[in-house]
Chains A and B, each alone.
Chain A
Amino acid sequence: MQATSDEALISRIATGDRLAMQVLYARHHVRVYRFVLRLVGNAAVAEDLISEVFLDVWRQAGKFEARSAASTWLLAIARFKALSAMRRKPEEELDEETAGAIEDPADDPEVTAQKKDKGEILRRCLTALSSEHREIIDLVYYHEKSVEEVAGIVGIPEATVKTRMFYARKKLSELLKAAGVDRGWP
């Protein structure tokens, strides 16, 4: 049995189908939440924002033109909400979990390397990237968005998507090197 497509669900939502809304929410809320959480770094704020994202979907379902995937549309709305929230509260404190994940500069790189395996160091370095770099890496690797889709979500040209991804990866390698992991690139 084939599941109802996201596009069909959004069409039904546009007619006020609450059940279609529940299905769409169940299908996408975790990924949208994680995307927002990685941007704002605060679980409570991220929860508030995804509620707003899906309320916008309910209100604007009739405007969805299916030129992009529904998940791309959702992430674009989520990104807009997250950036607006970050502008409202630029000094938003990071929650303890996120703050704890950022590399402690006092750690000696060699000690760090000994303490943790390479995967763990890589994850900590991913967390320590700027929000702009985290965002593009998440969109490409985790949310599996194409160059064109990332350009649509972030609102930048496709060529810029590629260069931003390159610089995000370059920065990641620098952080890794500082943490004692030299990958020989770039």
Chain B
Amino acid sequence: MIASRDKAPEREDIEAMLPWHAAGTLSRRDAERVEQALAQDAELARRFELVREEMAETIHLNETLGAPSARVAQRLFAAIDAEEAGVTRRTFRLDFSGWLTGLVERVSPRTLAWSGVAAAVAILLQAGLLAGVFLGERGSSYQTASFGETPASGHGAYALVRFNPAATVGDITKFFDQHKVSLVEGPRSGGIYRIQVSKTNLSKDETAKRVAQLAEDKNVVAFIVPTP
């Protein structure tokens, strides 16, 4: 009698562990204690079967709940892209020269993989500013093509472009050279840049044709539309 009373707390303790024993998440030591108790106690073994039954139906129930739609992933990664584009713009404004020097030194995926950042570096290369940065001109008063001068209006043809997230600095620089386009303004919200696609005035159809031609460079261009 005394012996059985002494065993009661131990049995309760073992019984409390049964759900975790069924799930296989006990330590080896505890699992061995439970196994020994189950081998010696038929009622405990019967209760363990109840636990296993509960576990089987819990799994069954959860497995029938389905999965989220593909829209969730689309929304998530769009939010990530938007957030990254925002970080890019902020960095540009807050610590432009320090950011650029660090970027070239590290060339980490986070900094270089974004189209916005890659485009910005390409634009700086185009503007001939990178050399200045490495020569030690580290003031924060740079006036780049993208933030300084107000673009001339009324001359030439323009488009709004968003670069492909996978495009590298080299790809974008090559794109500017090959197609003889130049940056006028950006990045705007969503990583959009305004570029000049022709130095002379073009008709609406001619501009559309020129933009369609640029859109074919899908490695670099994710999105492009004519703009006044």
Which residues of A are in contact with B by a Cβ distance under 8 Å? 15-18, 21-22, 25, 29-30, 33-34, 37-38, 43, 46-47, 50-51, 54-55, 58-59, 119, 122-123, 126-127, 137-138, 140-142, 144-147, 149, 162-163, 165-166, 169, 172, 183-185
Q: Is there an interface contact between B58 and A138, defined as CB atoms closer than 8 Å? A: yes
Q: Is there an interface contact between A140 and B71, defined as CB atoms closer than 8 Å? A: no
- Closest Cβ of chain B to A66, distance in Å, is 19
Q: Are A34 and B62 CB-contacts (below 8 A) given A58-B80, A185-B50?
A: yes
CB contacts (< 8 Å) of B22 on chain A: these are: 141
Interchain Cβ contacts within 8 Å, total number: 112
Q: Is there an interface contact between B108 and A16, defined as CB atoms closer than 8 Å? A: yes
> 1/0 per position for B39-61, CB-CB distance to A under 8 A?
00000001100110111111111
User: Please, which residue of chain A has its CB at the minimum distance from the CB of B15?
Assistant: A166
**Residue with the greatest number of chain B CB neighbours at <10 A, chosen from A18, A21, A126, A169:** A18
Assign chain B's interface to a size class. Answer: 35 or more
**Residue with the greatest number of chain A CB neighbours at <10 A, chosen from B46, B65, B69:** B65
- 23 pairs of residues in contact across A and B, judged by CB atoms under 8 Å: A16-B110, A17-B109, A21-B80, A29-B72, A37-B65, A43-B66, A47-B72, A51-B79, A55-B79, A55-B80, A55-B83, A119-B57, A122-B53, A123-B61, A140-B20, A141-B19, A141-B55, A141-B58, A142-B58, A144-B24, A149-B25, A163-B16, A165-B16
